[in-house]
Amino acid sequence: MELKYISSLTPLKPVTRESMQNLREVRQDILKKTHVESIVKHIYHAALSKATTSSSKCHKEEIDVNTRDYTMRVNNIPFERAQIPDILEKLQTLFPDCSVEHKSLSRGNDGKLYDVSKLEGVLPFVNRQKDQACFVIDWS
């Protein structure tokens, strides 16, 4: 008879008190890194898809921000504000000669997102109450 679950037969390892105290923090760090990688992968594939299927030279990935508890999500993947630089750094590595930024964009009456800081004379046509945080990749 062959044993399929050999891993259950491996001896148990001793764990120190210090290791036990740090297990939750280590798990949280791993989870945060995994979330950052998932967000980067999602944005990467979305930008490539846009470049292949659209004449647009820019991909804007909206960030969902829950103002009640200040949680942030991209593609339903949670992250913290402190992780934005990590996400940007990884995206800049993947798109080296493109502009990769985190911006607050304003939604126009037409439903599109606009960078008000770069456009003059559009303020009357933009609803600033519906500003949207985004990761922006521009390859123009």
Report if residue 27 sits inside a domain: yes
Report if residue 22 sits inside a domain: yes
Residue-wise pLDDT tens digits, 13-68: 999 999 999 999 999 999 999 999 999 999 999 999 999 999 999 999 999 988 77
Residue the block writes with tokens 């001896």? 11
Report if residue 13 sits inside a domain: no
pLDDT at 6 over 80: no
Torsion of CA 13, 16, 18, 19, to 10 degrees: 0
Distance CA 4, CA 7 (A): 9
pLDDT at 99 over 70: yes
- Angle, helices 17-53/84-94, rounded to nearest 10 degrees: 50
Report if residue 12 sits inside a domain: no
Residue-number span of the structural domain to which 117 is assigned:
18-138
Report if residue 64 sits inside a domain: yes
Distance CA 99, CA 118 (A): 14
Distance CA 135, CA 100 (A): 7
Report if residue 89 sits inside a domain: yes
Please report which confidence band the pLDDT of residue 105 belongs to, taking 50, 70 and 90 as the band edges: confident
Report if residue 1 sits inside a domain: no
Which of 36-50, 84-98, 99-113 has the least mean pLDDT?
99-113
Question: Mean pLDDT throughout 79-91?
Answer: 95
Query: How many domains would you assign to the chain?
Result: 1
In this prediction, residue 114 carries a pLDDT of: 77
Report if residue 4 sits inside a domain: no
